Amino acid sequence: MEEDLLTRTIIGLAIEVHKVLGPGLLESAYKECLFYKIAKAGFIVEREKAMPIVFEDIKLDCGYRIDILIENTLVLELKSIESLTDIHLAQTLTYMKLGSYRFGLLMNFNVLRLKDGIKRVVNGY
């Protein structure tokens, strides 16, 4: 599936989840519900995908995890916080760099309208 269509489809599913749950829940609730919706839609999806760091030719598991990875292409980093900051964007870009993923979505579910809490991220390598 083309990346723009995939991204729009996933945003639509996230909006469906947000409309049902609303703001104010823990990140884990949104993650589980969105994972369910994405899998139900027939996508290849992984949650809590480990992202090791390669240092001096050794892979080190330092506890980094991608919230949701879709079709081995699109990184989802989910938050439920007052507002997104540059550090959240940096975190998303780091996961994308570590896994050589080009596209990501940073989503903050703790907003009245989810579209106001979404940032599309493209990694130029």
Q: What is the dihedral of CA 101, 104, 109, 114, to 10 degrees?
A: -160
Of the candidates 80, 68, 76, which has an alpha carbon nearest to the alpha carbon of residue 103? 76
Q: What does residue 54 show for φ and ψ, rounded to 5 degrees?
A: -95, 120
Give the pLDDT of the chain (125 residues) as one tens digit per residue: 688 899 999 999 999 999 999 999 999 999 999 999 999 999 999 999 999 888 898 888 888 999 999 999 999 999 999 999 999 999 999 999 999 999 999 999 999 999 999 999 998 75
Apex CA 117: angle with CA 111 and CA 123, to 5°?
160
For the chain, the domain total comes to 1
Domain housing 49: 3-122
